[in-house]
Amino acid sequence: MNLKAAITGIHGYVPEDVVTNADLEKIVETNDEWITSRTGIKERRILKGEGKGTSVMAAEAVKGLLEKTNTDPKDIDLVIVATVTPDYMFPSTANLVCTQVGIPSICSFDILAACSGFIYALVTGAQFIESGRFKKVIVVGADKMSSIIDYTDRTTCVLFGDGAGAVLLEPTTENEGIIDFMLHSDGTGENHLIMKGGGSKYPASHETIDKHYHYIHQEGPSVFKFAVTNMADVAAAIMDKNNLTSDDIRWLVPHQANKRIIDATANRMGVGEDKIMVNIQKYGNTTAATIPLCLFDYQDQISKGDNLILAAFGGGFTWGSVYVKWAI
């Protein structure tokens, strides 16, 4: 029996507090026109409150998912959380989320693949379903990017926001669900998009704080060039591999980093604006949360049997695409 992993539920969560481009104009030398024309971002959500980490948002997304799918927390076999902003180095954010939502002592772990994290986690979760080992797997993409942003650096502080999205994977014998994937990485991109401090190479010290090592460092032009090429290439490649034309695709679900990168990917695939999921204007780049938040925002516009191409690019470098046939 050939099992596939179908997405049978989707839920998202973003914090209430909104930071607009006008708000950022008061902090750094920038303006709405500059931000909008280069990124497509108008506002982003920020998680405020002392002691609130990524697990708070991830747990809200999972709670909503369990309620929406009428799933008992005790029936979940595995939880995977993709994040670059875990509550702690350890224990994992997935462990914390399980406890917060009442999921008992099951297997749970984090995956770190930067902005490609959700598709890496989705593909990983699917393997447990396809093997027949597990029947209900939750995959979460969640990041509190505001916790690692230098709000004096106008090149990065305008880009990122906070949020979380979660999907439920279940087995199906139908020709639907996660049909195919392509995942890649290239460590030569190390210094182009990185947070240097806090790991074993540069543990926290007065020096690492003074050097701003605990914030995102991004070499914008290099990252943009690599992202435009590789995200577009991998989206087109998975279409070619599965003999899909632009007419066969209902939705491109791209990582929301920059509207120009999204448009380049769509152009390479030959799909028009009416087939692109975009919410970057509302949330900015929420890193691992962008793709599930798109699915959540557009869920009423997706029909059973629709062909979706998920595509992402992130630090590492990491990039990839997933071909999904919608099952709900």
Chain centroid to CA 126: 16
> Residue 317, preceding bond cis, omega within 30 degrees?
yes
For the question of residue 115 being annotated catalytic, the response is yes
Report which of 82, 67, 46, 77 is spatially closest to residue 291, judged by C-alpha positions.
82
User: Which DSSP letter does residue 214 get?
Assistant: T
Whole-number Å distance between alpha carbons of 178 and 129: 11
Report which of 182, 181, 141 is spatially closest to residue 283, judged by C-alpha positions.
141
User: Which DSSP letter does residue 70 get?
Assistant: T
Catalytic residue among 98, 115, 157, 294: 115
Chain centroid to CA 207: 31
Query: 156 and 281 in contact (C-beta within 8 Å)?
Result: no
For the question of residue 107 being annotated catalytic, the response is no
CB atoms within 10 A of CB 9: 22
Can you state the angle between helices 117-130 and 290-297, rounded to 10 degrees? Answer: 80
Dihedral in degrees, nearest 10, Cα atoms 197, 198, 201, 202: 50
Report which of 127, 124, 155 is spatially closest to residue 141, judged by C-alpha positions.
124
Catalytic residue among 11, 192, 255, 258: 255
Residue 244 φ then ψ, to 5°: -100, 135
- Which helix H or strand E contains 12, and what residues bound it? strand 4-13
> Residue 292, preceding bond cis, omega within 30 degrees?
no
Residues in the chain, total? 328
3-class secondary structure, 72? coil
Query: 125 and 96 in contact (C-beta within 8 Å)?
Result: no
For the question of residue 255 being annotated catalytic, the response is yes
Residue numbers annotated as active site: 115, 255, 285
